[in-house]
């Protein structure tokens, strides 16, 4: 039987004479590649030499980084690699230096001032001057500072007291009471409160008396609960508030030694007295005309009463000098001079006493409020009678003083009619 797999009858299977993939020839003609060669012959593009084989340069062939000719790179430049990462590490070092410098700048600009502020704020002495009590006036619409000059000798040795002619009295009294009032719109005003102002006392057991009596720590009484209450910042503030109907927002106090240090810290203050003044009790002997006053001279100048109008002249000098001192302390020549600003901050924070709720920023606000135009006046005086067991006192002009206090309560500028020379 014939094998069906070999139709030609050649061999058992008939596959030996069958054309397959190994058969050469084709329809390409003589010299043309057969099918097998077409499968394994490389392409023409692979036979062409595109360029030399790339190799990494050796370390000896790389010039030192500092000797390369620097040129400005453009956006079309390709990245260059030196094989050792020198340029990359240099870039990283520059980036780290830039970050370090930036962090240091932020520390100086932000953290150092904050730390200095907190340190200076912590140096302020604080007392409970603004207290709540039955009948206390409502908060006013303006801003009111009570500024008190104390004759306390705390911190002064015997030589300083002798040099400044302060005497050696113990305790504390006040010869200077001023108000810095800032309305909602308009310039601030310094208002002097005559120390002999006849007002109701906030010290238990005392009737009407001079307002500076409420500050004296030697004046004491017993309240309804049997506790002893002596004069000081809180009774002084309360006595003024009850008499005027105006609430005090901030309390600032400075002693004699602190006053001297402040004046010296700003390099002195120029004043122009119209007449010569000689007062051995105040340690003062000055000529008429403009002159630079140091701390000791300035203290005598604001304390003396050796002038024709005595205490009224002293009130006017205190207002003028305080304005000049603030102007000098807040001047750019002081604020941006570390040899003046540093001692000023140290002297101020070491000698100022403020209310428990007051911060250093409130003192700064006080200075800024007085940098522009500022007016000076006093509570209008009505009469100067002599009262039994009290002596000569000052009574306020009822109509004009109420006009002033009403403006303070409403946050309005003080009317001209209420101004006192």
- Angle, alpha carbons 95-98-99 (nearest 5°): 85
What is the phi/psi pair of residue 260, to 5°?
A: -60, -45
β 250-254/375-378 pair status = unpaired
Eight-class DSSP state of 108: I
252 pLDDT above the threshold of 70: yes
Kindly report, residue by residue over 215-225, the tens digit of the pLDDT. Answer: 988 889 888 88
User: pLDDT: is 163 or 253 the higher one?
Assistant: 253
Q: According to the per-residue pLDDT averaged within each range, which of 236-250, 259-273, 282-296 is highest?
A: 236-250
Q: Which helix (H) or strand (E) holds 76?
A: none
Length of the chain: 421
Contact status, residue 415 vs residue 407, Cβ threshold 8 Å: yes
In the block, tokens 């105040």 appear at: 282
pLDDT value for 29: 56
pLDDT value for 107: 58
Percent of the chain with pLDDT over 90: 30
Q: Tell me how crowded residue 87 is: count the other CB atoms within 10 A of its CB.
A: 14
In the predicted model, what is the mean pLDDT of the chain? 78
pLDDT value for 403: 96
User: pLDDT: is 114 or 406 the higher one?
Assistant: 406
User: pLDDT: is 125 or 75 the higher one?
Assistant: 125
User: pLDDT: is 82 or 400 the higher one?
Assistant: 400
Kindly report, residue by residue over 116-131, the tens digit of the pLDDT. Answer: 667 777 778 889 999 9
Question: Within 13 A of 34's CA, how many CA atoms are on the CB side?
Answer: 8
Eight-class DSSP state of 111: I
Q: Three-state SS for 125?
A: strand
Question: Within 13 A of 387's CA, how many CA atoms are on the CB side?
Answer: 14
* Interacting residues of 297 by C-beta distance below 8 A, sequence separation 6+: 284, 286
Task: Give the pLDDT mean for 354-382.
Answer: 83
């Amino acid at each position: 039987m014939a094998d069906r797999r070999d139709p030609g009858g050649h061999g058992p299977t008939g596959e030996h004479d069958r054309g397959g993939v190994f058969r050469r020839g084709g329809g390409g003609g003589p010299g043309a590649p057969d099918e097998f060669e077409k499968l394994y012959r490389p392409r023409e593009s692979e036979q062409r030499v595109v360029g030399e084989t790339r190799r990494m340069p050796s370390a000896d062939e790389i010039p030192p980084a500092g000797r390369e000719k620097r040129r400005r790179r453009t956006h079309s430049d390709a990245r260059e690699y030196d094989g050792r990462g020198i340029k990359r590490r240099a870039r990283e070092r520059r980036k780290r230096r830039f970050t370090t410098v930036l962090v240091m700048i932020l520390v100086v600009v932000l953290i150092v001032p904050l730390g200095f502020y907190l340190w200076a704020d912590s140096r302020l002495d604080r007392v409970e001057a603004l207290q709540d009590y039955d009948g206390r006036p409502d908060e006013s619409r303006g801003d009111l500072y009570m500024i008190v000059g104390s004759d306390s000798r705390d911190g002064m040795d015997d030589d300083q007291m002798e040099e400044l002619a302060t005497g050696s009295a113990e305790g504390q009294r006040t010869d200077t009471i001023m108000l810095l009032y800032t309305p909602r719109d308009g310039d601030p005003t310094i208002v002097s409160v005559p120390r002999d102002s006849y007002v109701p006392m906030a010290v238990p057991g005392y009737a009407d008396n001079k307002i500076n009596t409420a500050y004296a720590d030697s004046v004491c009484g017993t309240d309804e609960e049997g506790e002893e209450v002596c004069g000081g910042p809180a009774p002084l503030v309360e006595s003024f508030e009850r008499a005027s109907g105006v609430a005090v927002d901030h309390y600032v106090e400075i002693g004699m030694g602190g006053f001297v240090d402040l004046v010296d810290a700003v390099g002195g203050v120029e004043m122009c007295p119209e007449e010569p003044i000689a007062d051995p009790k105040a340690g003062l002997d000055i000529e008429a005309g403009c002159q630079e006053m140091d701390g000791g001279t300035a203290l005598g100048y604001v304390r003396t009463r050796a002038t024709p109008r005595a205490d009224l002249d002293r009130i006017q000098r205190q207002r003028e000098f305080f304005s000049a001192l603030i102007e000098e302390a807040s001047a750019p020549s002081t604020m941006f001079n570390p040899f003046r600003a540093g001692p000023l901050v140290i002297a101020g924070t070491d000698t100022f006493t403020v209310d428990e709720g007051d911060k250093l920023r409130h003192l700064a606000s006080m200075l800024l409020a007085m940098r522009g135009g500022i007016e000076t006046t006093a509570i209008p005086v009505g009469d100067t009678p002599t009262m039994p067991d009290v002596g000569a006192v000052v009574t306020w002009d009822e109509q004009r003083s109420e006009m002033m206090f009403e403006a303070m309560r409403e946050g309005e500028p003080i009317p001209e009619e209420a101004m006192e020379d």
